[in-house]
């Protein structure tokens, strides 16, 4: 066997592991964050997804070939470097790499369309146009690391709570919400629609015998809303549970979910919180205040925000309420219950003796609605009458009406927006920052 074939290939290590490799020869790879040429010594600041690596090239310690190989180096070029790790008090990590070999894997075009260091802040729309570059910013990387952890905590909570994960179709023959919010697509010559919600399927699976189900997946809404909180595609966290006594049990589940998420974020995600400049002492809710809509509207009216009995809460009202509960209950969260029938879908159950209310709720976090839930109407005759009130014929919704004719437990559920959860957790100004590639009425690329 040839001697070169016997030589052990170095295994790549990341920046975060470099401190433990002093006096060892290692391989690193990454993008050029910065490059300085001081004639007799050259410096490369290399970055990977875990941090930064200082690569030092003293002319007296590296070969001429290595020294000259980077004289025309551009920022964001991809390098692969073998070298000796040395302790260095001047380096950010306390160590530096003296290279024995540098390979320019891919030379970047200069200048870059946006600055990834964070020193020059580009407009969000430009950052989104070049999202693959924007994500090389350590702050952006840590935001999506945190999002990934939150997603994992959501799954852990439901699995630990006896829920069964499901995956439902995103191409449907009809919607369950407003028809005006449906995206119509051609399905082999027939009309089909992108799913606004897994609502029908969640209820179907509760009735199937699974009893408690959850799903994390895309939700589509054809709303021409141009706000910092609305999207045409978002990631929904949906769950449904059977054999409940009331919507209070559904709220208990949401309360437990938010407690679980934020407790684990606080305990396990300090690195990401610090990188994002967030307070590590985030509020972990124990018991979230629950306020009836009538009470909320009375308070709003007393403070100059008048809404009719049939109105939904406006963004301004939600913001005011967020400030109020923080002062009144020392809570960033509040459940608002008993939303008016006029602004809720036909399948929300009405309270006994109240034809204009619903056994529903929203969860508001720091002045923004992040979840909507309710007990569902499981009694077929009442459900059919409620659909008629909304101008719908339940008999024409055959797949939906069928599930209520063969034994249906009392049930309820909720839909939460993962993107809004991240927006509020990270104190972002725009929900689009919390999404890798957002979709809104104007943005369909990249």
Q: Which residue has the higher pLDDT, 281 or 167?
A: 167
Predicted pLDDT of residue 180: 65
Distance CA(160)–CA(193), nearest Å, equals 34
Distance CA(376)–CA(394), nearest Å, equals 15
> DSSP state, 172?
E
The model's pLDDT over 198-221, given as tens digits with 9 standing for 90+, comes to 999 999 999 999 999 999 999 999
The model's pLDDT over 30-40, given as tens digits with 9 standing for 90+, comes to 999 999 999 99
pLDDT band at 92 (very low <50, low <70, confident <90, very high): confident
Across 144-242, where does the E strand assignment appear?
A: 164-165, 171-172, 184-187, 190-194, 212-220, 233-242
Predicted pLDDT of residue 90: 83
The separation between the first and the last C-alpha atoms of the chain, rounded to the nearest angstrom, is 49
271, with CB counted inside 10 A (0-12, 13-18, 19+), is: middle
pLDDT band at 177 (very low <50, low <70, confident <90, very high): low
For the whole model, what pTM was predicted?
0.93
Distance CA(29)–CA(78), nearest Å, equals 7
Asked whether the predicted pLDDT for residue 226 surpasses 90, the reply is: no
Residue pointed to by tokens 């008993």: 338
Q: CB neighbours of 340 closer than 8 A, spacing ≥ 6? A: 293, 309, 310, 311, 312, 356, 357, 358
Predicted pLDDT of residue 93: 81
In order of start, what are the domains of the chain with their CATH numbers? Answer: 3-106 (2.40.50.140), 133-434 (3.30.930.10)
Instruction: Please name every residue paired with 291 in a beta bridge, in sequence order, or none if there are none.
Output: 336
Distance CA(310)–CA(163), nearest Å, equals 35
Neighbours of 398 (CB within 10 A): 10
Asked whether the predicted pLDDT for residue 9 surpasses 90, the reply is: no
Which residue from 292, 289, 384, 270 is spatially nearest to 339, judged by alpha carbons?
A: 292
How does the average pLDDT of the chain come out, rounded? Answer: 94
Predicted pLDDT of residue 3: 45
């Amino acid at each position: 066997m040839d001697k070169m074939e016997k030589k052990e290939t170095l295994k790549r290590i990341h920046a975060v592991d470099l401190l433990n490799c002093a006096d060892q020869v290692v391989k690193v790879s990454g993008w050029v964050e910065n490059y300085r040429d001081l004639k007799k010594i050259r410096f490369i600041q290399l970055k990977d997804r875990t941090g930064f690596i200082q690569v030092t090239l003293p002319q007296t310690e590296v070969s001429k070939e290595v020294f000259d190989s980077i004289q025309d180096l551009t920022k964001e070029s991809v390098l692969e470097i073998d070298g000796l790790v040395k302790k260095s008090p001047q380096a950010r990590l306390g160590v530096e790499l003296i290279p024995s070999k540098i390979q320019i894997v891919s030379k970047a075009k200069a200048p870059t369309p946006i600055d990834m260091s964070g020193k020059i802040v580009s407009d969000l729309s430009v950052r989104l146009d070049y999202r693959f570059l924007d994500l090389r910013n350590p702050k952006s990387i840590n935001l999506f690391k945190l999002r990934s952890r939150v997603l994992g905590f959501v799954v852990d909570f439901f699995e630990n709570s006896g829920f069964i994960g499901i995956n439902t179709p995103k191409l449907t023959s009809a919607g369950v919400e407003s028809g005006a919010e449906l995206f119509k697509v051609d399905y082999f010559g027939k009309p089909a629609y992108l799913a606004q919600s897994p609502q029908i399927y969640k209820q179907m699976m509760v009735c199937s015998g699974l009893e408690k189900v959850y799903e994390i997946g895309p939700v589509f809404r054809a709303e021409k809303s141009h706000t910092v909180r609305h999207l045409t595609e978002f990631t929904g966290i949906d769950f449904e549970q059977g054999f409940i006594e009331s919507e209070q049990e559904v709220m208990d589940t949401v309360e437990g979910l938010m407690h679980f998420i934020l407790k684990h974020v606080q305990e396990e995600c300090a690195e990401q919180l610090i990188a994002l400049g967030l307070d590590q002492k985030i509020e972990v809710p124990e018991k979230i205040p629950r306020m009836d809509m009538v009470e909320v509207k009375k308070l709003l009216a007393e403070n100059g925000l008048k809404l009719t009995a049939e109105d939904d809460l406006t963004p301004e009202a939600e913001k005011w309420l967020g400030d109020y509960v923080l002062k009144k209950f020392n809570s960033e969260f509040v459940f608002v219950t008993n939303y008016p029938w006029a602004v809720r879908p036909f399948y929300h159950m009405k309270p006994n003796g109240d034809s204009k209310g619903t056994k529903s709720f929203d969860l508001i976090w720091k002045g923004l609605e992040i979840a909507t839930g309710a007990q569902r109407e499981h009694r077929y005759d009442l459900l059919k009458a409620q659909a008629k009130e909304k101008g719908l014929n339940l008999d024409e919704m055959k797949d939906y009406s069928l599930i209520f004719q063969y034994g249906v437990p009392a049930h309820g559920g909720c839909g939460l927006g993962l993107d809004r959860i991240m927006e509020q957790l990270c104190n972002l100004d725009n929900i689009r920052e919390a999404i890798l590639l957002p979709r809104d009425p104007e943005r369909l690329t990249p």
